[in-house]
Amino acid sequence: MGAKTLAAVMLVIAAGVVGGLYLLSAPHPVNASSLPQHVPDPANGEVMYNAGGCISCHKPAAGQGEGDATLPSGGVPFNTPAGTFYPPNITPDRETGIGAWSDANFVNAVQHGISPHGTHYIPAFPYSSYGRMRVEDVLDLKAYLFSLPAVKGKRRPPEVMLGSVGEAVMRRATGLWKLLRGDARRIVHHADESAPWNRGAYLVDAPGHCGECHTPRNFLMIPIASEKFQGGPHPEGKGKGKVPSLIDLVGRKRYKDADDLANALQFGETFGYDKLSSGGMGAVQTNLSKLPEGDIKAIATYLVGLTGSRQ
């Protein structure tokens, strides 16, 4: 075989690999016909909205003119080691928000990380956790968002390496990341545990997406299942401290019991609990304080039960 032939063969193989990866990374959105028949309940959607902490990332940037800070019109920068992202407007504005989205568009975005244009969302958006939600809860969330006033927002592309080319490559490569990560598993009901424990498990693992920061990730940025909730590096990078472990909170004397933790989640520093107001957790606590009391207690019940034996 001559050098030229060899080069040609190598080129064909390389093209094959790139083409194969390209095909493998294709998004697979769900069809409208696969969605359940459901009459949406915006009140439950509001619970999902607060449990999911949507406002924390989708809030307007400070001083962004018309932005009402309580509405998720987007724009505040989210700094990560991979770049700076600007979470979009999720108010029902038809041009700059999600007002023109169908139910299927919304479910694909929130649960599968696929935009209405058929591209992958960067997983700074925690759709891996939201993928564990009941579809009905996601449709309720959409109904709640659609009940909010529509705000005109500004779209801002992320600041990543190599600009728009880097962004396109990163988005497509996210398809491969999704394959390696595996599909989000729905929350299993544990018959031997109480109703609050099961509710807490759902709120923590699905909408609450606690594991996105409290579970360490491997070098491919995939959460390590065997180290669930053992704490990890701060998502905004070095110099920000570490995200604490959620394992054995009572044994390690962080909280006296489930009621103590529930009080901390509900009232925070107003009740003298200062542990939940560092590293961004303050905003999470504000969101959680808006949940019905029963849900806050359910979260606390599940969390104090994380002692390492069953996580």
Q: Which residues bind other proteins (CB under 8 A)?
A: 234, 239-244, 263, 267-275, 277-283, 285
Name the residue nearer to other proteins (CB basis): 121 or 273.
273
Name the residue nearer to other proteins (CB basis): 156 or 275.
275
Q: How far is the CB of 243 from other proteins (least distance, A)?
A: 6
Report d(CA 167, CA 57) in Å as an integer: 19
Q: How far is the CB of 56 from other proteins (least distance, A)?
A: 11
Q: How far is the CB of 54 from other proteins (least distance, A)?
A: 18
Q: How far is the CB of 288 from other proteins (least distance, A)?
A: 13
Q: How far is the CB of 281 from other proteins (least distance, A)?
A: 7
| Residues 6 or more apart in contact with residue 76 via CB below 8 angstroms | 57, 58, 59, 60, 61, 62, 86, 87
Name the residue nearer to other proteins (CB basis): 154 or 234.
234
Name the residue nearer to other proteins (CB basis): 29 or 282.
282
Are the CB atoms for 201 and 302 separated by under 8 Å? Answer: yes
Name the residue nearer to other proteins (CB basis): 105 or 263.
263
Beta bridge partners, 85, equal 78
Name the residue nearer to other proteins (CB basis): 96 or 286.
286
Report d(CA 12, CA 212) in Å as an integer: 40
User: What is the CA angle 124-147-29, rounded to 5?
Assistant: 45
Q: How far is the CB of 58 from other proteins (least distance, A)?
A: 18
Q: How far is the CB of 86 from other proteins (least distance, A)?
A: 20
Report d(CA 15, CA 19) in Å as an integer: 6
Q: Is the dihedral of CA 109, 112, 118, 121 positive or negative?
A: positive
Name the residue nearer to other proteins (CB basis): 122 or 246.
246
